[in-house]
Amino acid sequence: MILHCLVEGNSVRSTARLCDVEKRTVLTLLTLAGERCERFMENILRDVPVRDLQLDECWSYVLKKEGHKLPHEANDERIGDQYVFIGLERNSKLVVAWHLGKRDRDNTFEFISKVRNATAGTFDVSTDAWPAYTPKLICNFPTGPITVSWSRFMTSQRKRGSDIVRGIL
């Protein structure tokens, strides 16, 4: 019942109230479900044939925006701007890979590694032309060459992804 309420879009607090449990219980169950879903994606989604893959990031923040961090919080990676990297197969709308982290080269590389493990075959890649998505990084997929077309995700998809991130965080 708790997960059903969360999937339907209820907040953590309203889910706790509706299910007559503590907020901590809802958060614990949500964490457990998330970890199991992540394991499922990593173990089951392998070598998925894709035709057209869209790579994008959705921005959000945790506790405060990056520019509002205090000096003692400057190196805390858990606070500030966070991005959800999404690899979406355009035709089926299947999310083949995702990654949460800062928008930097290391996190981009980790995300691309997850995409490589999840996909198979030759396919087109559409991105927002962020410099870390260099053709050299993307085109080194072990399954063969791919065509890179620099384009943007639809605005509605970006808005929807941001709403999802805010709901998760």
Question: Is 132 a residue whose pLDDT tops 60?
Answer: yes
State pLDDT tens for residues 74-97. 889 889 999 999 999 988 999 999
Reduced to 3 states (helix: H, G, I; strand: E, B; else coil), residue 162 is helix
- The band of 139, judged by pLDDT with boundaries at 50, 70 and 90, is low
CA 47 to chain centroid: 19
Name the DSSP letter for residue 64: S
CB atoms < 10 A from the CB of 58, how many? Answer: 22
Percentage of residues in the chain having pLDDT higher than 70: 79
Burial degree of 128 (CB within 10 A; 0-12, 13-18, 19+):
middle
Beta bridge partners of 53: 89, 125
State pLDDT tens for residues 8-31. 999 999 999 999 999 999 999 999
Nearest to 58 by CA among 128, 169, 126, 159: 159
Q: Report pTM.
A: 0.71
φ, ψ dihedrals at 167, nearest 5°:
-70, -35
pLDDT of residue 169: 52
Kindly give the pairing relationship between strand 52-62 and strand 124-127: parallel
Fold observed for domain 47-168: Nucleotidyltransferase; domain 5 (3.30.420)
Give the start-to-end residue ranges of the domains of the chain. 1-44, 47-168
pLDDT of residue 128: 79
Average pLDDT, the chain: 82
Q: What is the mean pLDDT of residues 155-166?
A: 53
